[in-house]
Amino acid sequence: MTALLSFCSVPSNVLTKNKQFYTSRKNLSKIATSVVPRMSLSPSKTSNQQKCKCSLAVDAPLEAILFDIDGTLCDSDPIHYYAFREMLQEIGFNGGAPISEEFFIKNISGMHNDELCRVLFPDWDFERAIKFMDDKEDMFRRIASEQLKPLDGLEEVCKWIENHGLKRAAVTNAPRPNAELIISMLGLSDFFELLVIGSECERAKPFPDPYLKALQELGVSPKHAFVFEDSISGIKAGVAAGMPVVGLGLRNPENLLSEAGATFVIKDFKDSKLWAALEELETEIPAGKIKT
C-alpha cells in the first residue's frame, strides 16, 4: 500500500526517552504547534477521477446527514499518529522502532480503543492495555486543544444542512471526551442534534450499529439519509447500515475508500463533486423546509 501520509520530522529537541515526560505531559500544550508532524498531501490520481459518479442514491426526500468526527470534521489524524508513535516507541513496541504511517493507516485509523487493545497488545491484560489507550487519548486532547481547525468547507456544508431543515448526527468510534472536545472546539455543539459513540453501542464500527442507532433516534429511514466518513471501517459501517457514503480522502488512500464502498470520494467539503450531488438532491427537498 502507498501511504498518503507524509510527515515531516519531529524536532529533535522535543524527542526524549524520559518516561516522566510521557507520564506527566505537562509541557504538551506549550509545544503542541512544533511537536505534531505536519502532513503533506499527495493524494493519488486515478484515471477515472473526472468520471467519478457524483450522485447519491437517496430516496426523496433527503431527511438527514450523518457525520463521522475524526478525519471528517477536522484533520485530526496527524495528532493521533504522533501520540501513538511516541507512546508506542516509549514502551518498546515494534522493537522500539517508530510505527510507520502505513502501519497507522492499516492497523489503527478508524478503530475504537477496545479493539485496539486486542490488536496492539494481544498479550496484555485488558486493564493495562486500556490504561495505555486512556493515556494516549489524554495526550491527544492536550495537543488537539491547541491545533484543531474545521475541514475546508465544513461551515458552508453545515449552513446548507441547516437551511434545508435536515436532521444531523455525529457518529464516531472516538471516546466521548474526544468527540465532545472536537465538536465544542469546532463550534458545532448546537449544530448536532445527536452524538453516538461506537463503544456505547453493542458493536462499534465497522459494524452498522452506531449508524443504525443514530437513524433510530432521529426517526429517519436509511433510504433518506447519507453519511460523511474518512476511514475504511466507518465507510463499511455506513454502507452496512444501508446508506450511501461520501468518503473524505484527506489521509486514507482514495482507492481503499472506494473499495470499502464509498459512493465517491472528495478532498474536502469544498469539492465540486460534493456540491454537484447536493444540488441534485436539493431539487427533491420539499420547498417548505428550505429557508430563504
- What is the Cα Rg of the chain in Å? 19
Do 111 and 184 belong together in one domain? Answer: no
pLDDT digits (tens, 9 = 90+) for 14-40: 333 333 333 344 444 343 444 455 444
Query: At which of 147, 169, 184 does a domain end?
Result: 147
How much is the pLDDT for 60?
92
How much is the pLDDT for 283?
78
* Catalytically annotated residue among 70, 75, 77, 209: 70
> How many structural domains is the chain composed of?
2
Residue 107 included in any domain: yes
Residue 86 included in any domain: yes
Do 176 and 117 belong together in one domain? Answer: no
Domain of residue 205, residue span: 53-76+149-289
Residue 4 included in any domain: no
Residue 26 included in any domain: no
Q: H/E element holding 167?
A: strand 167-172
How much is the pLDDT for 289?
67
CATH number for the domain harbouring residue 281? 3.40.50.1000
Do 154 and 218 belong together in one domain? Answer: yes
Do 279 and 206 belong together in one domain? Answer: yes
Residue 121, helix vs strand vs coil: coil
Do 161 and 242 belong together in one domain? Answer: yes
How much is the pLDDT for 292?
59
Residue 41 included in any domain: no
Grid cell digits, residue 282: 436539493
Do 92 and 57 belong together in one domain? Answer: no
Residue 7 included in any domain: no
Do 250 and 126 belong together in one domain? Answer: no
Do 175 and 118 belong together in one domain? Answer: no
Give the residues of the chain that fall short of pLDDT 50. 1-35, 38-52
How much is the pLDDT for 250?
87
The answer to whether residue 138 is catalytic is no
SS3 content of the chain, % helix, strand, coil (to 5): 50, 10, 40
Do 67 and 111 belong together in one domain? Answer: no
Query: At which of 121, 147, 173 does a domain end?
Result: 147
Percent of the chain beyond pLDDT 90?
Answer: 73
Do 173 and 271 belong together in one domain? Answer: yes
| DSSP per-residue codes, 236-262 | HHHHHTT--EEEE-SSS-HHHHHHHT-
* Catalytically annotated residue among 59, 68, 138, 268: 68
Do 126 and 175 belong together in one domain? Answer: no
pLDDT digits (tens, 9 = 90+) for 202-217: 999 999 999 999 999 9
State the chain's mean pLDDT as an integer: 84
pLDDT digits (tens, 9 = 90+) for 155-193: 999 999 999 999 999 999 999 999 999 999 999 999 999
Residue 36 included in any domain: no
The burial class, CB within 10 Å (0-12 / 13-18 / 19+), for 255 is middle
Q: Is the pTM of this model over 0.85?
A: no
The answer to whether residue 68 is catalytic is yes
Q: H/E element holding 139?
A: helix 126-147
Instruction: Provide the 10 A C-beta neighbour count for residue 131.
Output: 13
Residue 67 included in any domain: yes
Do 110 and 241 belong together in one domain? Answer: no
Query: At which of 117, 147, 177 does a domain end?
Result: 147
